[in-house]
Amino acid sequence: MTPAKHGHGPSHPAARLYAQEVQNGQMSRREFLGRATALGVSVPAAYGLIGLDSRAEAASHGMTPRMGGTLRIQMDCRALKDPRTYDWAEMASEARGITEYLVEIHRDGTLHPVLLAGWSANADATEYTLNVRPGVKWNNGDDFTAQDVAANITGWCDASVEGNSMATRMAALVQDGQAAPGAVEVLDPLTVKLRLLTPDGTLMFGMGDYPAAIMHRDKIGTSVADHGIGTGAYMFEQFKVGEKVVLVKNPDHTYWGQAYLDRVEFLDYGTDPSAWLAGADADEFDMTYETVSDFIDIFTSLGWVESQVGTSATVIVRTNQEAEIDGTRPYADVRVRRALALAVDNAIPLELGISGRGIESNNNYQVAPGVHPDHAMIAPHRQNIEEARRLMDEAGMLDFEHELISIDDDYRKNTTDAVAAQLRDAGFKVKRTVMPGSTFWNDWTKYPFSSTNWSHRETGIQTLNLAYRSTAAWNETGFRSDAFDALLNAATAIADNTARQATMAKLEQMMVDEGVAIIPYFRALYRHAKEGLLGAEMHPKYEINIHKLGWA
């Protein structure tokens, strides 16, 4: 079978199977678009497969912005560094006007080429061909070529770089902490071939994630703030960490695409939302990065335009089964963990933590119904205080004082407080400890009992691999089960959606039975912008691409 080319011709066979599932009502349109485009099917073609016109989607984005104008965005202004080590989406948004990406993920979960002209994958997703966009230039005058792409991908695979989170996304290319020999090959100046060690249908999603900014081939491992070399239309005029970042159109560079605004200012108002409100009231910015909690309604009532997007972002309240307190491991006992989960009605943290802005989880597993395409429905969670007390009593832990730790930050703190209050209502002893953000993350995987926020991922299997595999660096629950790992391997290898769901159901049930964590809800994210600003809709991963923003 000939592999499908992005942007033309017949589609990937799997994509056609997915299209059939959509027609049968087994898969949502959104899930389909995400999965089909990940396999290299172009967006118009993907829409076509399910009998829709992509222009309908385009129309929803509205008009083309006019040229020129200044935009002021409220956002934390963080220091830039090696993009591979970005740990905040804000960093990527600051630099996105200069360093662009191979692909981008749209609000609806679809993948679109940016610095690539297209890509294709073979049938079992072990070989990818990347077609580099021709005619793109670096702002130092060099041509953007396949060499750049290969150098970046090789750099992503370098697990020896501290904090390089791309290595886990590129895991299928990595051998002994480096790109496997022959895994990344430049075929010609506009073509790169990737040979995966294991099948991975989510590889291209990794390339659309915020640490995957494309650097000049000679500047891998540097911060763009130091040299300003990129392919984007903008350049830094001012870069003050914690204060403001100003970008203006680069007059010496011919941008390959379209950019509207002349000037973009990112303004840092700190982490207190009431300060953002004060700034908005004083007309000091035009767009928020993310509007949170009670402030969502308030910004809307001020006449700002609200946009929202459902995500799989969540706050989990988890125990660490391996943590020792005074020489014992209180959470090694599954009865204790189950008791904690049973004492909580997940609707309460949803209401008190995030004012109901999101959906209640189906049960305590980290796969989001309606968002993750591989979510499988299992029996829903029911609060049962009697059973919780019985289990806790049986474990002899009724008098144990649980110390529940959280970060000192609006919704995470409130969610955790709501859980703590319910545990107390069930008669368990709970002590709350709140840490400032600066100290909280030092030991976030090791706290015996704490809450953690997880950001959005496109598929459920991605999250489970990151957080619950025994060997995962981010495994904060101390849940290490061979059976679970085996199921994870099986699920990761399944390309087909329906087939994966069956395995996912087992994984989900296992998480519930083991009481791995309390996962009360999945959040919707909100953003506000002034009337007349185009392209400012909230993105599941908070992305702000200043090339696309503009005034009507």
Partner 1 sequence: MDPLSWTGAPGPWLNPALGVAVLALAGAVVAHALARIFASGAQPITRRAVWVTLGAVALGGLAHLAGALVLAPDDTGIIARISARFWPVWAALGITFALSLALRRRLGLYGHLFENPMGMIGLGLVLFWVFTAIFADLIVPFDPVADVISGMKNKPPGTALRAPEPGQYGYYLLGGDALARDVFSRVVMGARVVLGIAPAATLFAFMVGIVLGVPAGYLGGRIDTALAFVANLVLAFPVILLFFLLVTPEIIAMGVPTYMAAVLFLFPIVFLVILWNARFHTRPVLRAVTVGLTVLVGGWLYLGLAWDADPLGLISIPGGVLIVFVAVVFVNAPTVFRIVRGLTLDIRTRDYVAAAQTRGEGAWYIMLWEILPNARGPLLVDFCLRIGYTTILLGTLGFFGLGLPPDSPDWGSSINAGRGLLQFFPFPPLVPAVAIMSLVLGLNLLADALRQESLRD
Partner 2 sequence: MALFILRRLGVMVASMLCMTFIVFALTNLPANLEKLAKTQAGTRMTDAQVQSWLARGGYAQPMLRRYGEWLGVVPGHAGDASAGETAGRCARAAMQAGLDRAPRYCGVLQGNWGYSTKFRAPVGQVIAERLARTGVLMFWAFAVMVPLALVIGVLAGMREGSATDRTLSTVSIASTSTPEYVSGVIFVVVFASSMVGLKWFSGSAKSAVDGITFHNFTLPVATIALYGLGYIARMTRASMAEVMTAQYIRTARLKGVGFRAIVLRHALRNALIAPFTIIMLQFPWLLTGVVIVEELFVYPGFGNALVEGAQNNDIELLMAVSVVAVVVVLITQLISDIGYALLNPRIRVT
Instruction: By CB under 8 A, name the binding residues for partner 2.
Output: 79, 81, 85, 87, 162-163, 165, 225, 240-243, 267-270, 272, 274-275, 277-279, 281-282, 284, 302, 436-439, 441-442, 444-445, 473-474
Contact of residue 9 among partner 1, partner 2, none (CB under 5-8 Å per partner type): none
Contact of residue 278 among partner 1, partner 2, none (CB under 5-8 Å per partner type): partner 2
CA atoms of 430 and 436, how far apart (whole Å): 20
Q: Tell whether residue 306 is a contact of partner 1 (CB under 8 A).
A: no
CA atoms of 546 and 552, how far apart (whole Å): 15
Is the CB of 66 or the CB of 429 nearer to partner 1?
429
Contact status, residue 491 vs residue 461, Cβ threshold 8 Å: yes
Q: Tell whether residue 272 is a contact of partner 1 (CB under 8 A).
A: yes
Min. distance of Cβ 165 from partner 2 in angstroms?
Answer: 8
Q: Which two tokens stand for residue 458?
A: 């496109």
Which range touches partner 1 (CB under 8 A), out of 102-110, 116-124, 307-315, 346-354? 346-354
Q: Which two tokens stand for residue 459?
A: 């598929």
Min. distance of Cβ 432 from partner 2 in angstroms?
Answer: 21
CA atoms 440, 362, 491, 513: torsion sign? positive
CA atoms of 510 and 481, how far apart (whole Å): 10
- Residue 45, judged by CB atoms within 10 A of its CB (0-12, 13-18, 19+), counts as buried
Q: Tell whether residue 241 is a contact of partner 1 (CB under 8 A).
A: no
Work out which of 109, 113, 273, 535 binds partner 1, going by CB under 8 A.
273
Rounded to 5°, the CA angle 258-263-266 comes to 115
How many helices and strands in the chain, by DSSP H and E? 19, 23
Contact of residue 214 among partner 1, partner 2, none (CB under 5-8 Å per partner type): none
Q: Which of residues 123-162 bind partner 1 (CB under 8 A)?
A: none
Is the CB of 298 or the CB of 347 nearer to partner 2?
298
The H or E element containing residue 66 is none
Q: Tell whether residue 294 is a contact of partner 1 (CB under 8 A).
A: yes
- Give the end-to-end CA distance of the chain in Å, rounded to a whole number: 47
Query: 């083991």: which residue's tokens?
Result: 514
Burial 260-279 (b: 16+ CB within 10 A, else e): bbebbbbbbbeeebeebbeb
Contact of residue 162 among partner 1, partner 2, none (CB under 5-8 Å per partner type): partner 2
Q: Tell whether residue 352 is a contact of partner 1 (CB under 8 A).
A: yes
CA atoms 286, 541, 164, 184: torsion sign? negative
CA atoms of 17 and 551, how far apart (whole Å): 41
Contact of residue 434 among partner 1, partner 2, none (CB under 5-8 Å per partner type): partner 1
Which range touches partner 1 (CB under 8 A), out of 28-36, 63-71, 207-215, 270-278? 270-278
How many residues make contact with partner 1 (CB under 8 A)?
28
CA atoms of 86 and 271, how far apart (whole Å): 19
Work out which of 17, 190, 298, 325 binds partner 1, going by CB under 8 A.
298
Min. distance of Cβ 279 from partner 2 in angstroms?
Answer: 4
Contact of residue 418 among partner 1, partner 2, none (CB under 5-8 Å per partner type): partner 1
Work out which of 127, 237, 408, 485 binds partner 1, going by CB under 8 A.
408
Using CB under 8 A, list all residues that contact partner 1: 272-274, 277, 294-295, 298, 348, 351-352, 355, 408, 413-414, 417-418, 420-422, 424-425, 431-436, 439
